[in-house]
Structure 1
Amino acid sequence: MTEAVLRSLRSACPIAPRLSPYAEPVQEWLAGQLDRLGLPPDTAARQRLARAGFARYAGRLHPDAVEPDLRVLAALFTWFFLVDDSCDGPGQPDPARIRALRDGALILLRQGSHARHPGISGPLRRLLAQAWREPRRRMPARWRLRFADAVAHHLDGVWREAVARSAGRAPGVDEYVELRRATSAAYVSYPLIEFAAGRPLPDAVYHHPALRRLADVANDLLSWFNDIASLERDRATTGGHNLVLAVAAERSVPVATAVDLVADRWRSEMGRFLALRAAVPSFGPALDESVTALLDGVANTVRGTLDWTLESARYG
C-alpha cells in the first residue's frame, strides 16, 4: 500500500532526477573504506550497508560533485546513517550515550582530529575524522562553524527523541514535525551543497528568511516521504515517532487513512516549495550564482531522497 503512495508522490514531483556519473565507482571505494575500518563490525550488517547504496544517495544529492568530493560526501552520509542505526534500533534508546556521541563529534568538528572525547572512538571516530579532513582544510571558518552547529542541532534532536521514547511518550503532530526537522539531518546536508559547489555563502545570505523557509519545506518533503517509506519499521522501533503514526493517533484514524492524509499534505507542501523557490530575491550579481547553486542543491535533496528511497535496499 505504501509503495503505491510513494511512487505516486515521486510522479508528482516536478524536480528532475539527477545522478552523478561517479556514483558507482565511489560506492566501490566506500565499500573498501568501510572494510578497512571494520564498519559495521559484523559481516551481515556490512552487506546490508553496501546494498543500501549510500554513495548513490550522495550522487543523487550532489550530481555535479567531482569524484574526490563525492567520496567525502558519501563517507559523511555513511557516518550519519551509521549513527542513525545505532540510535534508532529496537529496544530502549540510551540518551546518555547519544549525548556523549554528540559531544565527541562536536569536539572533533570544532577542534580537529587531534581532540579526543570518550563519546566517540574507534572506527566510527576514524570515519568522521577522515571524511572531515578535506572540508576542514578547504572551507572558511564561518562555514565550518555552520556545519558543526547543524550537526549539534541534528544530534540534539536525536537525543530529544530518545528521551521521549525512553519515557514512552509519543509526540503530537506539530511537535513531531519540528522534531523531525532535526532528526532528518537535512540541515546538515545543506552546508555540504556549498562544499560540493565550492561556493560558501555569507551567513546573512545563508540564513536569509526566504532561504530558511525554503529549507524548512524541503526538509519536510524529504522527511515525510521517508516516514511513509519507513512506516513498518518505525511502528516496531520508534514508539510513535513517525508522521503517519502521529497523524493516526491525533486524528483517531486508521494508519492507512493517515498515510493518505500525509500524502495529501506532502503534495500541498510541494506546491509551496515551488512558490517559495520562485520568490527568492536577488542578492546581487556577486552572489546570485552561489544562491542558485544552493537552491538547486536543496531541490536535489528532495528529489534525490525520493529516488534513492525507492531504489535502495535500506527500506525494502
Structure 2
Amino acid sequence: MPADKVAEYADGLCYTDLMAGFYLGAPDEVMQAIADYSAWFFVWDDRHDRDVVHGRSSSWRRLRFRLHAALDFPAEHLHHSDPLVAGLADSVGRLYSFLPGTWNARFARHFHAVIDAYDREFHNRTEGRVPGVEEYLALRRLTFAHWIWTDLLELSAGTELPDRARKHPAYRRAALLCQEFAAWYNDLCSLPKEIAGDEVHNLGISLITHEGLTLEEAVEELRRRVGECISGFLAAEKDVLLLADRLADGTVRGNETSAAVRACVGNMRNWFSSVYWFHHESGRYMVDSWDDRSTPPYVNNEAAGEK
C-alpha cells in the first residue's frame, strides 16, 4: 500500500484485531509477533494476486525463491531490498525466538509448503484452470496455511506440545475443522470479489464448474459445509478435553501439557467467532462499496516487486 492508502484503510482492514481474537492468553510480545506475521501474510497474498493479474511470472518466481530463503535464514534477509522479503525475515525471526528449534523447523517446513502451494495457485490462475473440488480442498489447506495457524496455537500457549498430544486424532481433527471453517467461510465471503475478477480458486467456483451447481446452489453448499465444521468441531472438542484430562497425570510435565492442550483447543474455538466477525467488519470484503468489485481500493496496482 502507498502511505496515503495505509492511513485511509489499514485500521479498517482489522488484520491485527483478527489475530487478537484468535490467540487469547498469548504474552504481548508473542501476540505482536503473530499479528505482524498475519498482516504480512495478507500483504503477500495481495502481491501474489497482483502478480497474477498483471502476468508478472518472473516477479513471482523471484519472490518465491526469496521467501524460501528468508524463511530458512531470516537474519540474512532483514535488510533485503524487497520490503516483503525483509518483512517475512523480521516476523519469522521473532516467531522463532519463543520455542525450541524443533518447533521452528516444523513451522518452516509447513510454510515452505504454503509458498509452493501459492505457486500452484499462480499457475492455475494464469492458465485459467479451475481445480476439481477434491483437488481444490487439498490445495486450500495449504494456501490458507492450516498448519501454520495451528502451530501458532502452541506459541500462544507458551509451550511446544509433545507428539502424543499434537498428533492425537482428536486434536488433529479439531484443528482441521476450525481451519476448514475459516477457509470455507472466507471462500463464501470472497465469492463476489473472485467471480468479478474471473478467479479460479474458490470452493464455490469449483462447485459451479465441476459439479454443475448454480451460484445459489454453490452458496448453499458452502453454508452447509461451514455448518458441518461447527458441529464436527463441537464433537471433536469434547474428545480433546478428555485427552487433556488424561494428560494431567500428576507430574509437572503432564499437568503443563494438559493445560496447554486446553488453551490450544480453547483458541481453536475462538477461530469461529473471530473469523465470522472479521469477514463482516474488515474492509477487505466490502465489495459492494468498491468501484471495481474485483479489486480492493487499497491495493497498489503499480508494478510492485518488479525490481
Trace 1:1-316 onto structure 2 (pairs within 5 A): 40-44=1-5, 47-89=8-50, 91=53, 94=56, 97-114=59-76, 121-237=81-197, 239-280=199-240, 281-282=243-244, 284-285=247-248, 286=254, 287-316=257-286
* Structure 2: gaps of 5 or more residues: 249-253, 287-307
Q: Deviation per CA, 1:230-252, whole angstroms, max 9, x where unpaired?
A: 11111133632111111122232
**Is the 1:169–1:239 contact (alpha carbons within 8 Å) kept by the matching residues of 2?**
no
Distance 1:155 1:116, change over 3 A: same
Q: Distance in 1 between matches of 2:140 and 2:56?
A: 19
The structural deviation recorded for 1:92 is 5.1
**Is the 2:26–2:158 contact (alpha carbons within 8 Å) kept by the matching residues of 1?**
no
**Is the 2:71–2:108 contact (alpha carbons within 8 Å) kept by the matching residues of 1?**
yes
Q: Distance in 1 between matches of 2:274 and 2:108?
A: 23
Q: Distance in 2 between matches of 1:255 and 1:310?
A: 21
Q: Distance in 2 between matches of 1:154 and 1:115?
A: 19
Structure 2 length-normalised TM: 0.81
Aligned to 1:21: none
Q: Distance in 1 between matches of 2:57 and 2:263?
A: 37
Q: Distance in 2 between matches of 1:188 and 1:98?
A: 22
The structural deviation recorded for 1:95 is 5.5
Q: Deviation per CA, 1:65-97, whole angstroms, max 9, x where unpaired?
A: 233322211110011001100112462555554
Aligned to 2:302: none
Q: Distance in 2 between matches of 1:106 and 1:203?
A: 26
The CA RMSD measured in Å over matched residues stands at 2.4
* Structure 1: gaps of 5 or more residues: 1-39
The structural deviation recorded for 1:182 is 0.9
Counterpart of 1:175 in structure 2: which amino acid? E
Q: How many equivalent residue pairs?
A: 275
Q: Distance in 2 between matches of 1:85 and 1:162?
A: 12
Q: Distance in 1 between matches of 2:97 and 2:194?
A: 38
Counterpart of 1:124 in structure 2: which amino acid? L
**Is the 2:68–2:115 contact (alpha carbons within 8 Å) kept by the matching residues of 1?**
no
The structural deviation recorded for 1:103 is 3.4
Structure 1 length-normalised TM: 0.79
Distance 1:52 1:259, change over 3 A: same
